[in-house]
Structure 1
Amino acid sequence: MKRSLTEGNLFLAQTFDPRLLLEYEQLLKNTNASAETRLAVYDRYPELLRERDDCYLDKMMLLTLRGKYKEAIELAAHKRFHIYEGGEGKLTKLHAWLHVLYADETAKHGDVAQAEEICRKGAEMPKSYGEAKTFFNQEAHIYYLLGTLYGKDGDPEKERAAYEKAAEYKAAVSEISLFRALALKKLNRTEEAQTVLEEMLQTAQNLLDNEDRRTYYGVGSPSPMPFETDIVKQNRLAGYTLKAFALYGTENYSEAEDCIRRAEKIDPNHPEACFYHRILK
């Protein structure tokens, strides 16, 4: 395997086909190469990188995993994206998480006002993204963090308004649903919060119990990336990660940690597992 990866790098250096950059990076990703190794490849071929939106987005994710939030945001600002069918929502989801993580880090360093500004920008989608916000955009984590920041500022009116926004119903169940549940708890709507967490647990368990089945296949269904057609692996990753977030919400922290470790055993660089450690620790 090491030989094939080395040969792939040498071959890539002799071609001008950006598709090969995508496939080589995907090969590195699915053999659990480190974020540093993969970023080095992108840095080696900037011309090829600029021609592939998917590679560009992948580099943003790798920078996020390395904690280089500002650099990832600046990278996004210099690109006009062209969203493809099956790739909808990937950029907007990363945009939101990226700003939440950056705002949280900024607040921990003591600059609450700047953290609030960063957080608000997470809910604004630049026109250069080529994708507008819809009802289904998951933003509970943005507004939940804003609520906690307004609370630190001593502004109960803004704090409550942010929690109300975070508590809004969204049709999809994801790890971000945890922050809706946490916001509902802040608003003393504990029964609703419990319902959200139970739905998360049920969805996660369904993924694990039916690991060999696709949850949806039709218009807008995710397009598998190269070397990522193993539906069992993908469902286990999604199931264990979602279950971890839900168990955190029910305060079963040791069980949540066990689920995250199971996900990381499958993929040491799984983004949602990284987000779990960064934002919930």
Structure 2
Amino acid sequence: EFAMASRNLAIYYYNKEHDIPKALDYMKKAFELESTYPRFLLEYNQLLEKAGAANEDRLLLLSEHLDMVKEKDALYLDYITLLNLTGQFEQALKHLSSHQFHPWEGGEGKVSKQYQYALIHRAIQLIKGGDYDAAVNLLKASKTYPHNLGEGKLPGTQDAMADYYIGKAFLGKQDVESAMQYFHMAVQKEETPSSVLYYNDQPSDFIFYQALAKEELKDTAGAKKCYHQLLSFGQKHIFDEVDFDYFAVSLPEIEVFPSHPKERNRLYCMYLMALGNIGLGHISEARKLLEDILAESPGYQGAIEHLEHLK
């Protein structure tokens, strides 16, 4: 009947015995025994993701305890992330704008990421619906962070995705000159793919949007180079032996059920390979990679958004 003992057994079975079903049973019991403790709900939700639970099911669980969810920033962010993962971008923005977030070690950059994601993907919906001016306003807003998010913008943060879609919105308005201006902005800071371990590492998926912008600028060779870079980086590094540096600035997440950095790297490389394949027109290969990622990690945001992109 002691909830903390069940919670600790869940940690043991996950980390030492690698028995996720048994760990999940104990974590569920811990939460049921002490269902008013936000920490147990946070960890139960994290373990459900490791067990492959559907995003919709996890969202329902958190929705049923929303008052408690709001007590803990990391838990509230999980709820907002699930809103984004299930396409509820306006709801995500509503919650992001009505709460004062406080930075926590291991959570740096995660709130702002969901803010950008919600704005950009709501803007994509507006572009598809022909509301180009509203889309441009949201995309421009994604480049600056309001004070209530609790953190500023890291140096080197890329806005290529926002700039690309602003360009697409202007094309929709038949304003070719403005569109070209934003496509040029998207490709200004050219970089090569790199690994992502810590919060201040920029994921290399922005290179995909630089390539799309290059296609709009009729730089077909430059676009293909970007796609090949994404594909070859993933192929070259997918089996790397990766681990965190002891003196790391901050680990990516505060989890008692951590995934090994080698596994994170493998999924990340599969993701970059999928993006490269999309650009090169290898759609079936790309779709399989993205589906394989989601079979292992249903909450992998990049895989979800780019499966939608393939539609």
- Give 1:107 deviation, angstroms: 2.1
The one-letter code sitting in structure 1 at the alignment partner of 2:280 is: T
C-alpha contact 1:173 1:203 (8 A) present in aligned 2:
no
SS in structure 2 at match of 1:251? coil
The one-letter code sitting in structure 2 at the alignment partner of 1:161 is: Q
User: Does 2:234 correspond to 1:204?
Assistant: yes
- Give 1:163 deviation, angstroms: 0.7
Rounded Cα–Cα distance in structure 2 between residues aligned with 1:8 and 1:34 = 21
Q: Could you say which residue in structure 2 is the equivalent of 1:67?
A: 87
User: Does 2:277 correspond to 1:257?
Assistant: no
Rounded Cα–Cα distance in structure 2 between residues aligned with 1:173 and 1:20 = 30
- Give 1:50 deviation, angstroms: 1.8
- Give 1:273 deviation, angstroms: 1.0
Rounded Cα–Cα distance in structure 1 between residues aligned with 2:183 and 2:93 = 25
User: Does 2:105 correspond to 1:85?
Assistant: yes
* Structure 2 stretches lacking a partner, 5+ long: 1-20, 192-201
Q: Could you say which residue in structure 1 is the equivalent of 2:198?
A: none
Rounded Cα–Cα distance in structure 2 between residues aligned with 1:194 and 1:115 = 28
Q: Could you say which residue in structure 1 is the equivalent of 2:15?
A: none
Q: Could you say which residue in structure 1 is the equivalent of 2:134?
A: 114
The one-letter code sitting in structure 2 at the alignment partner of 1:7 is: K
The one-letter code sitting in structure 2 at the alignment partner of 1:195 is: K
Distance change (3 Å), C-alpha of 1:132 and 1:166: same
Q: Note the 1:222-241 alignment, pairs <5 A.
A: 222-223=252-253, 225-241=255-271
Q: Report the identity percentage.
A: 27
C-alpha contact 2:164 2:182 (8 A) present in aligned 1:
yes
The one-letter code sitting in structure 1 at the alignment partner of 2:128 is: K
User: Does 2:298 correspond to 1:245?
Assistant: no
- Give 1:21 deviation, angstroms: 1.9
User: Does 2:206 correspond to 1:176?
Assistant: yes
Q: Could you say which residue in structure 1 is the equivalent of 2:297?
A: 267
The one-letter code sitting in structure 2 at the alignment partner of 1:213 is: V
Distance change (3 Å), C-alpha of 1:48 and 1:112: same
Q: TM-score, normalised by structure 1?
A: 0.89
Deviations 1:184-236, CA, capped at 9 Å, x for gaps: 222233443333333322332244121x4137662245235332232333222
Rounded Cα–Cα distance in structure 2 between residues aligned with 1:96 and 1:26 = 22
Rounded Cα–Cα distance in structure 2 between residues aligned with 1:246 and 1:12 = 47
Rounded Cα–Cα distance in structure 2 between residues aligned with 1:180 and 1:225 = 33
Q: Note the 1:128-207 alignment, pairs <5 A.
A: 128-169=148-189, 172-207=202-237
Distance change (3 Å), C-alpha of 1:77 and 1:157: same
Q: Could you say which residue in structure 1 is the equivalent of 2:69?
A: 49
Q: Could you say which residue in structure 1 is the equivalent of 2:143?
A: 123
Q: TM-score, normalised by structure 2?
A: 0.81
User: Does 2:41 correspond to 1:12?
Assistant: no
Moved more, 2-11 or 27-36: 2-11
- Give 1:80 deviation, angstroms: 1.2
- Aligned CA RMSD, in angstroms, stands at 2.2
- Give 1:68 deviation, angstroms: 0.7
Deviations 1:158-205, CA, capped at 9 Å, x for gaps: 101111121121654522220011112222334433333333223322
* Structure 1 stretches lacking a partner, 5+ long: none
Q: Could you say which residue in structure 2 is the equivalent of 1:40?
A: 60
C-alpha contact 2:142 2:162 (8 A) present in aligned 1:
yes
C-alpha contact 1:204 1:242 (8 A) present in aligned 2:
yes
Moved more, 52-61 or 31-40: 31-40
C-alpha contact 1:136 1:170 (8 A) present in aligned 2:
no
Rounded Cα–Cα distance in structure 2 between residues aligned with 1:259 and 1:183 = 24
